[in-house]
Amino acid sequence: MDKTVYPFQGITPISILKDMSKVGSRQMDCRRSHGFIIKLHGCTEYCSGNETWLLSAGQVLYVSQGASYFIREVEPGYSYVVNFSCTEHPQTPIEKLHFPQGFDITPIAEKIVSSWQKRDGAYSALSSLYALLAKTVFTEESYVSTREKRLLTPVLEYLQAHISDPELPIGQLSELAGVSDVYLRRLFKKQFDASPATYVIRERMHLAKSLLENEGFSVAQIALQVGYRDPLYFSRLFKKQTGLSPSEYRKQHMDALF
């Protein structure tokens, strides 16, 4: 299988920061520099246009200078963000970097940060960063082609329009793409690192979080709006996904505002 190292050349680090997950969502408009988001704990979703990238612990996301995207926290945690300039970079504004199966990015990531924090440690930090990038590869299993994205488009549009439907027919989504159930699950795994059913739950929980941040809705009302007739089942599922009950999440959000 062919492997291609990502085309990053002439990198000059500008800053290296620790980004702690925050309650709720946030928007990044017209990024001022290129960046690597190195996720070490938790899980964060990045959205731009119709595309979504789920960044879990042990993964790295490249975001280009000038990129705008929406950030939604899935699980609390933290990332290291390397802001940099460079002479060569991918043409895509946002790209998830892929590593060999079983490769642990943590030791190199920690070395990048510790080197940067030392006096005259910029060269060592850059050397460690290139060592990390040298491990990145394109593979047939991880690359989502333009054709595959087109196949997913009608499915994602349907889910967006019917995410609140308790009778959402997960088993029939493959018909919208004109592919088999097995192939659709493979596409979702590649694009979102989740099955269609898990993706639906994740989107419903995102919607629920947004509604919980508005005190005008009760938990029972929110359960219905995100596709669950049974508020107790919704509450159990919400806590399983977020670690907080709906009421606890609402209180945490309100406390964070004041």
Ordered mean pLDDT values, 10 residues apiece, the chain (258 residues): 59 94 80 96 87 90 92 89 90 84 92 92 92 74 71 92 93 92 89 87 90 88 95 94 88 71
- What does pTM read for this prediction? 0.60
| Every domain range in the chain assigned CATH 2.60.120.280 | 12-133
pLDDT digits (tens, 9 = 90+) for 205-242: 989 988 998 878 999 999 999 999 999 999 999 998 88
- Could you tell me which CATH class the domain 12-133 is placed in? mainly beta
Cα–Cα nearest to 52, from 153, 176, 140, 132: 153
Q: What pLDDT is attached to residue 107?
A: 95
| Every domain range in the chain assigned CATH 1.10.10.60 | 146-257
Q: What pLDDT is attached to residue 80?
A: 97
Question: What is 146-257's CATH superfamily?
Answer: Homeodomain-like (1.10.10.60)
pLDDT digits (tens, 9 = 90+) for 46-60: 988 878 888 999 999
Alpha carbon 127 to chain centroid distance?
Answer: 27
How many degrees, rounded to 5, is the angle at CA 37 between CA 128 and CA 132? 25
Q: What pLDDT is attached to residue 139?
A: 47
